[in-house]
Chain A
């Protein structure tokens, strides 16, 4: 089974802090994704990556950056955390063939910015 592991289930940070969310997958998937989920809004794509050091903006990239230095690891960075970034963050991975295979998700990180 594919395993996607996110570093924390719950995280509390203060406004202005730089926050790192880490995601690791063990199935040699090329594609990795970061989403946030807010009540009533569904899953929204922040960034995705299709290869090491490659990244693409999703629908809501403002205030975030990403890093993919190794194939198995995809980090989401909140450069200067703000209260409107309080949310559930989900990481996912998939094979390069993309749409014909499902995405595999981590358990999520519930982030609170105080």
Chain B
């Protein structure tokens, strides 16, 4: 079982604050990294699939960066809104894993207060 760490475990911010959290993964045998958002009572929704060192992806106010050499990815939310409240999951794919199975971190639970 590969170790994928996410920090912080939970985060409470005020509406309008910008925030970021971290996903750490094994730097050897990197294949891809996924970010998902999981809102309460809904299904996890893919945000980004990142494959190259130095990748930067953006979707509205959310962006992500990737450093495969040191084994981390950052997720940034600019100007947080209450609708951003969710658990954010990262998942690592090892080059040796069969068929793209994901190894998930435990998630960062974000609460945005109005």
A binding-site residues for B, Cβ under 8 Å: 4, 31, 33, 35, 40-45, 48, 50, 56, 58-59, 90, 94, 96-108
**Inside 8 A of B26's CB, which chain A residues have their CB?**
none
Q: List 13 A-B contacts (CB under 8 A).
A: A42-B89, A42-B106, A43-B89, A50-B98, A50-B99, A56-B101, A98-B99, A98-B100, A99-B34, A99-B97, A103-B46, A105-B45, A106-B43
CB of B112 within 8 A of chain A? Answer: no
**Inside 8 A of A40's CB, which chain B residues have their CB?**
106
Closest CB of chain B to A95's CB: distance in Å?
9
Question: A50-B99, A102-B36, A103-B102 given. 18 additional CB < 8 A pairs?
Answer: A40-B106, A41-B106, A42-B104, A42-B106, A42-B107, A43-B91, A45-B101, A48-B101, A56-B101, A97-B100, A98-B99, A99-B51, A99-B97, A100-B100, A101-B100, A102-B49, A103-B46, A107-B43
- Interface size on B (CB < 8 Å)? 25
**Inside 8 A of B11's CB, which chain A residues have their CB?**
none
- A-B contacts counted at CB < 8 A amount to 68
**Inside 8 A of A102's CB, which chain B residues have their CB?**
34, 36, 46, 49
Closest CB of chain A to B114's CB: distance in Å?
26
Closest CB of chain A to B98's CB: distance in Å?
7
Q: How far is the CA of A90 from the CA of B98 in the complex (A)?
A: 20
